[in-house]
Amino acid sequence: MDLITVLLSFVVILFLAIVFKNQGKYKNFPPGPKPLPIIGNVLMLDMSKPHKTFMELSTTYGPVFSVQIGMTKTVVLCGYEVVKDALINHADAFSDRPYAPVTAKFAKNNGVIFSNGENWKVMRRFTLSTLRDYGMGKKTIENKITEEAECLVQKLKSYEGKPFDNLTIINAAVANIIVTILLSHRFDYEDPTILKLMAVINENLRLFGSPWVRLYNSFPLLMDWLPGAHRTIFGNIKEFQKFIRATFTKQKKELDVNDQRNLIDAFLTKQQEGKPESTEYFHNENLTILVGNLFAAGMETTSTTLRWGLLLMIKYPEIQQKVHNEIERVIGSAEPQMEHRKQMPYTDAVVHEIQRFGDIVPNNLPHATSEDVTFRGYFIPKGTAVIPLLHSVLREKTYFEKPNEFYPEHFLDSKGNFTKNEAFIPFSIGKRSCAGETLAKMELFLFFTTLLQKFTFHAPPGAKLDLEPALGFTSGPQTYEICAISRT
């Protein structure tokens, strides 16, 4: 018997064993399209933009349905009511992250984004308390954002109204806020270190949304033998972690537990407390992954939202003008502050609508069931991957009058007052919601208002503005150039 026959026989036996084992496990499982052997529903999914396929499938199978990617069954939740029911009313049952080979290879249940169990609880508790200690939601970090916004203004002025690509400088400005909390440091926008770190993060976020990664998660043993995006991702992560380790190794030598300067100092101090959790949770591998988690998350979603904001202001100059008018009326030439937001309902509505329309993480980060659960009449076994589809919430017609249009009036009442919308959950909800939500909201308002106070933005002559998102794990705008004309 030749090698190929042996391998094929092994695959068939493995497949039949899994099918037999799961026959009872998936009784009364959410409905979905019939999967093919081995590959599941891969051929019918838009692997670059799976949220589009999920929306189509929900019209056939309802708001709770399943798909199979490779051998892995995944439950998809659509619409605000269903997502809220799972993540709030059944919070404990849906609070895990699924096992994914591509993240398991480097995270190994460390950090806060991809970890589970007690490690996740300890790291999230530490992250939230430390972010608050170092200014999240307070005047201290507001002042840092205001200072950084002024640096960004000076950089934009240096282009003297000529076209430029804003990706790198907006990434760097936003990154400097989380870097301040992590390292007590800010980088110049041309610093080779920050340029390199941003480059590897941006490349990985683009590749994490590629079909290659989804194939790797389905067939890791096979994909490990093949070239592809996964190899680039692992190389980038290795380089990024090398920088993080070098940074905290240096800080460890300078550490003064009575004068903790930043989050890394706070973590290193925990290491030295001599408690059981110091050894079990506050080790260097956890620190490496945690800092990487916070750096990437703290930079990417906020900077991508701001880039959507500037593109949309160019696309809709009449909305940009209304924002200018409100800024002039409420702030004038003074420095924008968070206290101004309550007096600026239109600008606040525009910022919210940028987040909703931008739909930055359409698939959400995947969840998993931490226990067997009966949900909406279906049985979902422990360990099942679950996608609470944020795209289906932010584009839900029940809550948003014009879901596929950029329409700030979604957040304004008939008298022009700002009004909340319960389906506005770009940071997700529940126990896995974004730990930096308060910081991100502050950054978005202050950066956006400062830029619109100082500049009028428009497209270069003859440019075509495309609102179709670029491919990637996050849903950012395509590369575009912008002209910033000083208003002062």
What are the pLDDT digits (tens) for 282-305?
999 999 999 999 999 989 999 999
pLDDT interval class at 468 (50, 70, 90) = very high
Residue 23 pLDDT greater than 70, yes or no: no
What are the pLDDT digits (tens) for 218-271?
878 877 787 888 889 999 999 999 999 999 999 999 999 999 999 999 999 999
Alpha carbons 92 and 86: distance in angstroms, whole number: 9
Alpha carbons 65 and 54: distance in angstroms, whole number: 9
Q: What's the pLDDT score for residue 19?
A: 46
Residue 334 pLDDT greater than 50, yes or no: yes
Residues within the annotated binding site?
434
Mean pLDDT value across residues 27-40: 94
What are the pLDDT digits (tens) for 107-153?
999 999 999 999 999 999 999 999 998 877 778 899 999 999 999 99
Pairing of strands 378-380, 373-375: antiparallel
- Provide the edge-to-edge strand list for the sheet that holds 72-77: 64-69, 72-77, 385-388, 367-368
Q: What's the pLDDT score for residue 137?
A: 74
Q: What's the pLDDT score for residue 96?
A: 97
Residues within the annotated binding site for heme?
434
Contact 367, 97 (CB under 8 A): yes
Q: What's the pLDDT score for residue 17?
A: 43
Q: What's the pLDDT score for residue 180?
A: 93
Range with the lowest mean pLDDT among 50-59, 219-228, 335-344?
Answer: 219-228
Alpha carbons 33 and 57: distance in angstroms, whole number: 8
Q: What's the pLDDT score for residue 177?
A: 95
Residue 12 pLDDT greater than 70, yes or no: no
* pTM metric for this prediction: 0.92
Range with the lowest mean pLDDT among 141-150, 319-328, 351-360, 469-478?
Answer: 469-478
Q: What's the pLDDT score for residue 11?
A: 45
Residue 395 CA, chain-centre distance (Å), reads 18
Tokens of 161: 């109204």
pLDDT interval class at 24 (50, 70, 90) = low
Range with the lowest mean pLDDT among 38-52, 59-73, 86-100, 382-396?
Answer: 38-52
Q: What's the pLDDT score for residue 165?
A: 94
Q: What's the pLDDT score for residue 418?
A: 98
Mean pLDDT value across residues 171-178: 96
Q: What's the pLDDT score for residue 483?
A: 97
Helix (H, G, I), strand (E, B) or coil at 114: coil
Range with the lowest mean pLDDT among 110-114, 161-165, 211-215?
Answer: 211-215
Q: Which amino acid does the sequence have at 391?
A: H
Mean pLDDT is highest, among 120-129, 199-208, 267-276, for 120-129
Alpha carbons 150 and 142: distance in angstroms, whole number: 12
Higher per-residue pLDDT: 49 or 15: 49
pLDDT cut 90: percent of the chain above it: 78
Q: Tell me what the pLDDT averaged over the chain comes to.
A: 92
What are the pLDDT digits (tens) for 429-443?
999 999 999 999 999
Contact 443, 141 (CB under 8 A): no
Residue 423 pLDDT greater than 50, yes or no: yes
Place of tokens 């500049």: 455
pLDDT interval class at 16 (50, 70, 90) = very low
Pairing of strands 373-375, 367-368: unpaired
**Per-position b or e across 64-94, b if 16+ CB within 10 A of its CB:** bbbbbbbbbbbbbbbbbbbbbbbbeebeebb
What are the pLDDT digits (tens) for 355-385?
999 999 999 999 999 999 999 999 999 999 9
Residue 20 pLDDT greater than 60, yes or no: no
Alpha carbons 128 and 201: distance in angstroms, whole number: 23
- Bridge partner residues of 378 (DSSP): 375
CB under 8 Å to 11, separation ≥6 — which residues?
38
